Chains A and B, each alone.
Chain A
Amino acid sequence: MKYFRLIFPFILVCLSAIVWSCSDDDSVIESTEIFDRQAMLANWSDNIIIPAYQAFSTEVDALKSAVEAFETQPNEANLNTVRQEWEAAYIAWQNIAMFNIGPAETTFMRSFINTYPANVSSINTNISTGDYALQAANANDEQGFPALDYLLFGLADSDAQILEFYTSNVNSSKYITYLTELVNRINVIANQVVASWEGDYRDTFVNNSGAASNSSTNKLLNDWMFYYEVVFRNGKIGFPAGVFSEGSTLPQNVEAFYKKDLSKTLCLEALNAFQDFFNGEAFEGTTRGESLASYLHFLNTMKNGEDLSRIINNQFDLSRTAMSNLDDNFFNQINTNNNVMLVAFEELQASVVLLKSDMFSALSVAVEFESGDGD
């Protein structure tokens, strides 16, 4: 019976061990035999995320100055410069759209910058009345690149007629104002996000290296997956190709609908950015750091399993091939032969299986945010 006296202190010690272990302790263990998630987070932020944001911000600055020049001298040459800068910035955007974490999440960056199709009737009303609040959550389809797409390419059939909206139209000053405000708004959001990453957020992100559901890895990966499935696969291909709309295609929902021949470029850029992130490849570079691929590789050598990262990369390559077969203009592609769009969709789909089912399981990252108890 004398043991009993020891039982309560023993339980107490054990219970305090629980409390201690469960209070998110992010101590990093230095060892070559374990995969360092923090190094992966550092590679992501320092070599991919921050440079990509900075590049985007630079492009948006260029777009801003182009619009300012156009504002002072609304002529064809200046309009074309605005268009070129818009295109460059839109392409740069594809490299950061997948990172909806931290400042991008709190500013609703993705929603405000690239919600399409643009709501043309709201935009027209906004311009004519001058009564709008771009910060409102439901104004997300009245701004960003899709709205600019409409203002720069969709106001009329010919370039000369489009230019007239900014020159001889009775509301020309209102058109210029709206154009300027849209660009400024992108600029403000971009600056905010870049400032935050260049400031404190980088360390917050890298130091939150645990494995809990709110750790950087889990949060970013869950959203990264959501981006791939919904924003990328469905948004760029699935929705316009009618995959979710009971057999009827919705070609007017392609990205960059008014520019017409940019949809494929944007789609390919997004795929490349996504794959580079998987491989931990530096932005605009070729060096690779710790990444999902190296993490999988690390885990695989331990279990002598299949080389999952190679299988995933192969599938990305197959998707790229399927996508290269498409017309530069997805709107045309859907109207002439939607089947190749569906083929591309299926290839993108196959990656979802590998990422969501195999990769998440192998990394032991829960495919969900806060969940309840388990068994």
Chain B
Amino acid sequence: MTTYSSGTPVAAVRLSSARRTAVDRAGDPILRGLTWLASAVAIVLFVALVYKVCDLAGESFSHYGLSFIGRETWNPNPSTKTYGFGAADFLFGTAVTSFFALLIAAPTSVAIALFLTELAPRRARRPVATLVELLAAIPSVVLGLWGLIVLAPIMSSTIEPALHAVLGWIPLFSGTPSSVGILTGVVILTIMTVPIVSAVMHELFGTVPGELKEAALALGATRWEMVRMVMLPYARSGMVGAVILGLGRALGEAIAVALVVGNADAIHTSLFEPGSTLASHIAAEYQGATTSLQISSLAYLAVILLALSVIANLIARLIARRAPLRLGAGVGGPE
């Protein structure tokens, strides 16, 4: 309030006494032109990015066409008969790691958001919410470091043997526990996406009108019934949008995943086995690729990754159109 009353009149006085110089008259079109140019830059940048990455993938695209997506081979040794490339291994790795990460992260995020809006002691809400939001800002390479050095040994010594003992009859949890692998990647992606998704959900639940909640409670509903019958239906589309937002982030993460996923070009049923994702494989191989077909095939993987993230973005927009996200919600991740 004070800033408003002390600031604006000063400026206004100066403005009113300012004579219209040539600079003044030119100012408007210049500012308009500059802002227009900046907006054009944003659009051109995205278009150029799509074009350039597709262009880099050109050789592989003309060699394999769309069949690249389903090919399971990734053999960079040009002197062997099976020399050739395909995206299937990495699409599989990306799908599995992202799917399971979100399978855990989505309900956990709902729980955190409900806890923060309904259950937590009033005084604890702000600090915990801030903590969760700040954790969304932890750089992924730090999570990768933690995953490789702290988490990976625990995975092979404790978590995976326990899962194997209880759920070993499911093929997903068969096999031998290992420190790095798909499951370690899943855990890291979960830790990465929970803060992002829960921050958005927290905000969504905050938008549920108090009257609706109170009406339900006044009708004798328990708190859980109020959540299930009022809050969740009200926020449903926004929640789906939030999960897809997390998905977009998980799909594209290269560094943290490359550190813990085991970097094997293979498809296994067991989550304990090593694998690779589109992003982690590009990170591992792009700089050292020597044949032009391999280089363009890696760019082809990037094109697929780009397409997936654009599709996720579009779906999230369609679903969450009615639930605009606040400024702070997108910290460290796509909004």
* A in complex with B: no
Spell out B's residues near A (CB within 8 Å): none
Spell out A's residues near B (CB within 8 Å): none
